[in-house]
Structure 1
């Protein structure tokens, strides 16, 4: 019997087959500096190495390829569409271009200009609308209804979560005795997919979610036991903004099943983590990619003697945002 969320190990292995050659098997590197700082073995999963700059390419490629397998190229002739806080839109634009499918990406006015430009460069049509991801989704619904386009959701679909879950398979192959995986939490596709893969192979590995201090839609929904709306706010971790959809069908149940603990991090903590990763690891990461380290530092999570993986989920960050982070830290 399928789980309510529909994400099975078989679906994740199918995703790996489908995206092979289209997506980078990202490096898992040992951080000497962080390991010494936390008296643990700290590993960094570099999804920043993806051609789109973030993990989202896995799920987008998997879903578009799966739809082509099912319905043929003509089945997507009207094109694909989505709403995004930036990274999913960029990933979908790249995946669609590679697979020969037209794409329209709907973005709220909160999405930073550098992310908008990156999407347009890949040849997708961009529509700016509203002040939240939910408002952008209203335009997506219109495109689906009036132009016959196919929705590729940013997170709430088993095919999307399974694509992100291929990260978990790689983690278990490269570091099979991990004690904890720390993942940014927004819509839940990344954490849910990774958690489903890791728990299927090593159930004792803890899956830790990290959200923003404000606007944590998934966490608020888990507490309420149903999808709820939250006000979106500007943040260094802007990729973690947005709602989970009031009709959420997949990721709320999936995250509730696989996540063991959860932290909400402040803006100064995100800023310090971004600067630390840049200074000590020589890696440029967006705020959402730094929240794992932010949580470890802000909450002094006890990881002594453990093997811990942090998911560095993306690198879509402007120099202006890095400068904001530096100013917040005084460094």
Structure 2
């Protein structure tokens, strides 16, 4: 990392992206506040136009391109949500977008990408293989490559989510967010720590395929096998040549947790029953971490980033099975 992002970069990102993204609600969860004897707040970034927080970084990245790059277009790799966000932004800004995905991406996200206006390329059995293809297309066709997480403009865009949280709850004690490539945690961490250094930033990954947590434990980026999960948005590697998100996650994340599939399933069911929200597994991992690791939140102000709602019926049915429920029963 040759330079550092600052809070000013996040403020600039907010000005840029305002026309294409929403300032999403931060709502108090009465059920979680009672359960854990705390103030629990839900940042509903699942309400962005593309159904996930990824739109913030995608818009900021495209608005940072020069005129020649805009004409040639961009390419990315994605587990679904970033590709959809980049395609949406590209349509509104007149920028051609190619999205490379692996065969692990759920069918509902594949279909959404097919309808998004992007050129879709399905390549490989895991996100890392799709990334190799995206970089090949960059070199072959002269496209601008946009990483879903390891890009300063993307990170600054995702940081606007943290800025909004801090403007409404500046005395927050803890913030939970899903951890994959680290773009969200890096951006949110910068925003939160710049405004309230004592606040804890906590990242949560699934048990298997937690590339960033494994890399942090090793002290350098690792390649970790990708495994299918209810939290499919958190799959994939962080890149062995990671230039931004690894170092920023090291700096700004206080703790990281892994959660198992059954606990993710139960957290997803909580959101539907108690919060009346149908969300992805990646959006529920913070709640899953508190339950699985029996974290004491008594008397704390705690925020959870509810990151996305692009959930297939098949994934929801699997969540019900793992939670020991019949789909749609007692919901």
TM (norm. structure 1) is 0.97
- SS of the residue 1:146 aligns to: helix
> SS of the residue aligned with 1:290?
helix
Separation in 2 of the partners of 1:301 and 1:158? Answer: 32
Is residue 2:26 matched to residue 1:28?
Answer: yes
**Aligned equivalent of 1:18:** 16
Q: Are the aligned partners of 2:80 and 2:101 in contact in 1 as well (CA < 8 Å)?
A: yes
Q: Determine the C-alpha separation between the residues in 1 that align with 2:70 and 2:307.
A: 29
8 A contact 2:152–2:244 mirrored in 1 = yes
Paired position in structure 2 for 1:177: 171
Pairwise mapping of residues 166-315 of structure 1 onto structure 2 (< 5 A)?
166-315=160-309
Aligned-partner Cα distance in 1 for 2:3–2:54: 19
Contact 2:69 2:144 in 1 (8 A): no
The answer to whether the Cα contact below 8 Å between 1:183 and 1:311 also exists between their aligned partners in 2 is yes
For 1:83-232, list aligned pairs within 5 A.
Answer: 83-232=77-226
Q: Are the counterparts in 1 of residues 69 and 143 from structure 2 also a CA contact under 8 Å?
A: no
Aligned-partner Cα distance in 2 for 1:219–1:329: 25
1:330 Cα deviation (Å)? 1.2
CA distance in 2, matches of 1:5, 1:38: 40
What whole-Å deviation, never above 9, does each CA across 1:160-201 have from its counterpart, x for those lacking one? Answer: 110000011100111111110001100000011000001000
- 1:320 is displaced (CA, Å) by 1.3
Aligned match of 1:319? 313
Q: State the TM-score, normalizing by the size of structure 2.
A: 0.97
Query: What is the CA–CA distance in structure 2 between the aligned matches of 1:166 and 1:75, rounded to whole Å?
Result: 24
What do the CA deviations read for 1:26-63 (whole angstroms, capped 9, x no partner)? 10000011110111010000011000100000001001
Gaps of 5+ in 2: 326-331
Detail structure 1 runs of 4+ shifted over 6 Å in the superposition: none
Kindly provide the CA deviation profile for residues 247-283 of structure 1, in whole angstroms up to 9, marking residues without a partner as x. Answer: 0000110000001111100000000000011111110
Work out the CA distance in 2 between the residues paired with 1:235 and 1:243.
14
Q: Are the counterparts in 2 of residues 5 and 251 from structure 1 also a CA contact under 8 Å? A: no
SS at match of 2:159: helix
Count of paired positions: 325
Quote the Cα distance in structure 1 between the aligned partners of 2:3 and 2:312. Answer: 35
Identify the residue that residue 58 of structure 1 maps to in structure 2. Answer: 56
Give the whole-Å Cα distance in 2 for the aligned partners of 1:138 and 1:304: 46
User: Which ranges in structure 1 are unaligned for 5 or more consecutive residues?
Assistant: none
